[in-house]
Chain A
Amino acid sequence: MAMTDTIFAHPSIAHTRVDRRRLLFHRVGKSAYSVLRGVIVIGICFLILHPVVSRIMISFMTEQDLFDQTVIYIPRQFTLENYATVWRAMNFAVPFFNSLRLTLLVSLFQVVACALIGYGFARFDFPGKRIWFGLVIFTLIVPPQTIMIPLFLHFRFFDVLGLFRLVSGQRGINLLDSIWPFVLMSATGMGMKSGLYIYIVRQFYRSVPRELEEAAYIDGAGVLKTFTMVMLPSGVPAFVTIFLFSFVWQWTDTFYSNLFLRNLLTLPRALNSLPLVISQQMYGEIGTLATMPPAMASMYTNVGSLMLVAPLVILYVVFQRYFVESVERSGMVG
């Protein structure tokens, strides 16, 4: 676009009458286009933000406002009572810190493992590399539900090469309801969507100029030292990206925690049973889902969701710039 501008603006061409008209058309076309673009971009942003904003506004409404047809968007009786009720019912701090610990642990292991593996694929030549990388992609294609039952039993009767059975005579250790399945899987590049993260890191490192590494080698640094001193710091944008992805997906995950950690009260799980819990607290023993007005049950779930999302939004706003730029730099062509 910029190129055509300069060509048209060149005095010797633009001064003839015909070209002036073309220049005018060109300008009009361009501004029409930017108006159109603005409309589309704002429209899509509206589509995305509108439900969020309405949910936030609704969360400040009293029950009365909720049913009042004349109350639109802005609550007439502004209240924080919904948040207080949900906070008490969830006992928010407990599931929050449970989730935080689990998510941080998993994400850190994911980043470390995928950094090593991705770097290995990006910078070293070894026999069978294409096959191994094909397998990385293959793990992404297989639905986790296909291997869910064997994995479940695997951790129920966990054993390494039958060693444990040899020693104790029992059939493996029960690792379910502990943090170990998560640690073991994410540390070996088999956690949730690890294949995608390995792919991102690999693409990122392929775009880093080789001269950087070669300089370090010439200065006499070994492979490990080059990796830790030169390549790890330059990979930070990619690590931020996969950390964010991993954090978001683990924070809201129910699949793996329902499979391996059935007794830990995570935030998503607390959220799932929220209306029932509130109902029981309000109406005592007879409290079931049916005793609460459905709109209120819905409202409490909504408030709970907002409280679940809030940390993610904060995280995203803090890292957003970093994140978008880093994805651009990684230039995922390949």
Chain B
Amino acid sequence: MKRALDPSVRRRAIWGYAFISPFIVGITVFFAIPFVQSIIFSVNELQVTQDGYELIPIGLANYHRAFFIHPQYNRVLLDSVLQMLTELPLIVIFSFLAASLLNQSFRGRTVARAIFFVPVILTSGVLLQLQTQDLLMNALLSAQAGMSADAAREGIMIGRDLAMLLDASRLDPRFVNYVISAVTDINQTVNRTGVQILIFLAGLQSISPSLYEAATIDGATGWEVFWKVTFPMISPLVLVNVIYSVVDIFVRYDNPMMILVRDVAFAQNNYGLSAAFSWVYFLAVLIILGIIASAFSRRVFYQT
């Protein structure tokens, strides 16, 4: 408390507020107010009138409709959660491996790095939308590559070989299926990891070389160095990446729930219902993030 009275500290605090003042205005006007309003809308029926809009309170009817009457809502909600849970580990593990590779020194590293981030450009906004719509183009592409039937058969064969191998190991069949889908969907995973690779790479670069030197002098093997130095140092970024990926998967344009929310609002003009939809969805996201964050934060290592 004594510190706060010191004039220079106080001046710094005022400057701090001055610098973030645009954010304070922005979050109040363009975030907090709409955020509260969307709760209000979700328990009302919204009708657009000539000089504005009217709200007719209808209680929890919109929520009731979402869960018990709407034919698709529950299924879409469950689908997007399951989709997230399957994609998340793949994305985090792949981006970590890719970042570790790109962090090593080899010839052509700069080129490889440049290429690894290309998906960030190629899957943004309208491009992703067009790609998912355009199944025909994809079919054509594989036909052009001369791998239509052959490659598909081959792909299945590889999948089957892998399946037989894994089956022989008597692992849980659910796990086996997961590994196989991970291998066959590698394309999708690669396309979704640009930013995550970037974050991991930045983290790997910031680990002080003296730590590695000390470990090697103490006789640690590569394996030990990885688990005792690299992994703890990078663990805060695992959390950052998990959160980023969860949010990214949930709000991306091809997410079925986002499409549903948009349709209900702008194709059917049912703003109240759309608000209720997105609120239930947001709460689901928040709960999942909370579980993940609390599970991770106990294991994360902070240097300071």
Residue of B nearest to A255 (CB): B253
CB-CB under 8 A from B285, the residues of chain A are: 141, 143
- Tell me the B residues contacting A by CB distance below 8 Å: 4, 9, 12-20, 22-27, 29-31, 33-35, 37-38, 41, 46, 51-53, 98, 101, 104, 106, 108, 110, 112-122, 124-127, 129-130, 134, 136-137, 140-141, 143-146, 186-187, 190-191, 198-199, 201-203, 205-206, 212-213, 216-217, 222, 233, 236-237, 240, 243, 247, 250-251, 253, 258, 261-262, 265, 271, 274-275, 278-279, 281-282, 285-286, 289, 303
- Is A145 a contact of B278 with CB atoms below 8 Å? yes
The residue from B13, B216, B250, B261 contacting A127, defined by CB atoms under 8 A apart:
B13
Chain B: minimal CB distance from A228 (Å): 12
Measured CA separation A280–B119 after assembly (Å)? 33
Residue ranges of A at the interface with B (Cβ–Cβ < 8 Å): 1, 3-4, 34, 37-38, 40-41, 44-45, 47-52, 54-55, 57-58, 66, 69, 71-73, 113, 116-117, 119-121, 123-127, 129, 132, 135-136, 139-151, 153-154, 157, 170-172, 184-185, 187-190, 194, 198, 207, 223, 248-249, 251-255, 268, 271-272, 294-295, 298-299, 301-302, 305, 308-309, 312-313, 316-317, 320-321, 324, 327-334
Number of A-B contacts (CB under 8 A): 274
Please give the distance in Å from B193's CB to the nearest CB on chain A: 10
Contact: B34 with A328, CB < 8 Å? no
Q: Quick one: closest A residue to B32, CB to CB?
A: A135
Question: A51-B141, A190-B27, A271-B130 are known contacts. Are A119 and B203 too (CB-CB below 8 A)?
Answer: no
In the complex, what residues of A have CB within 8 A of residue B303's CB? Answer: 333
- Which chain A residue has the least Cβ–Cβ distance from B120? A248
Give the residue of B20, B127, B243, B286 whose beta carbon is less than 8 angstroms from that of A305: B127
Q: Which chain A residues border B113 with CB–CB below 8 Å?
A: 324
In the complex, what residues of A have CB within 8 A of residue B127's CB? 252, 305, 308-309
The chain B residue with its CB closest to the CB of A330 is B202
Given known A146-B35, A149-B274, contact A73–B144 (CB-CB < 8 A): yes
Main secondary structure of the interface of A (DSSP, over half): helix
Say yes or no: B18 contacts A150, CB within 8 Å: no
Contact A55 B141 (CB under 8 A): yes
**CB contact under 8 A between A198 and B237, given known A54-B145, A327-B201:** no
Contact residue among A148, A188, A331 (Cβ-Cβ distance under 8 Å from B202): A331
Bound: A226/B139 CA distance, A: 58
Closest 3 CB pairs of A and B: A188-B26, A120-B19, A124-B16
Which residues of chain A are within 8 angstroms of B12 by Cβ–Cβ distance?
124-126, 223
Smallest beta-carbon distance B143→chain A, Å: 7
* B37 to A, closest residue via Cβ: A150
How far is it, in angstroms, between the C-alpha of A320 and the C-alpha of B115 when the chains are bound? 10
Q: Give A157 to B46 CA distance when docked, in angstroms.
A: 15
Bound-state CA distance A252–B119 (Å) is 13
7 cross-chain CB contacts under 8 A: A37-B106, A41-B101, A45-B116, A125-B13, A153-B53, A223-B12, A248-B120
